[in-house]
Amino acid sequence: MIRGVLPVLHTPLLADETIDRESLEREIDWCYELGADGICGAMVSEVLRLTYEERLELTRLMSEVSDGRGAVIASVGAESTKQALAFARHAEEVGCDAVMAIPPVTTALPESALWDYFSALAEQCSLPLIVQDASSYVGNAISIDFYRRLLEQYGAEKIRFKPEASPIGPNLSALRDATDGLALIYDGSGGILLVDAYRRGISGTMPGVDLLDGIIALWNALRSGDEEAVYRVYFPICAIVALQLQAGLDGFLAIEKYLLVKRGIFASEQRCTPHAWSLDEETKAEVDRLFDLLTQAL
């Protein structure tokens, strides 16, 4: 069952920017200790900045270290269908439970080419395919009609969705309604829109790992209908994610890795270089204050 809280792993790196396996193992173990339902690779895993070999290594380690404790979802989106299929077949070989793909981002594809790309993944990989619109970071939005046609062609068990085009909430509802509630939809807002998305009928959420204890507490409060607990936990999460949003993908990565070091899970804040933004002292001080508020709320 690919449902519930499915955190997107951050890729821990050594000083030479190779994968830090020891920190990755701590990260995955911590996810399951908190009650995560699985783990994912995606944009904040820095997949677009890893080498081909490193992407394969990350997928293999995710499956190996997870060791059946939850669903493992590999990121396979690439700039060509050939590349994406290579990543997808590798995910099958190492025992992943699903694949997730963004469209190519270096060109604005017409829908006919986009259809060829996603249908090749659906037909040539046996795993469920989560179609990710990562247009909040990169690329162009995917239309609701395109999603609907994919679902009609391949069915809800094969095709799932992680729509991130703005406005996210109304688009979630539009996809739900256009598919008569059949679409399995995952939130990818980092937690800042999770309450709204949950009330629109999502199947799961794919946040970063840095605030995972808060996200799981929030998810459980939503499931139990504990409105007081929902907003007590939700507000500091929102405030932290708002700081991350100001610098796009690099904003998320800088603050998320800072918090994972602060928690003792990562040995280093090392990111793939180059990057456009780093955490300044004043932002860091505000993150610390908000993190303390989240800790108190939990």
- Please report, in range form, the residues annotated as the binding site for pyruvate: 206
213, amino acid identity: D
Q: Cα dihedral angle (189, 192, 196, 200), rounded to 10 degrees?
A: 20
For residue 25, give the nearest of 209, 291, 256 by alpha carbon.
Answer: 209
Rounded Cα gap, residues 190 and 197, in angstroms: 11
Sequence ranges of the binding site = 206
For residue 231, CA distances in Å to 187, 220, 297 come to 18, 12, 10
User: How would you classify the pairing of strands 159-163 and 129-133?
Assistant: parallel
Rounded Cα gap, residues 284 and 243, in angstroms: 10
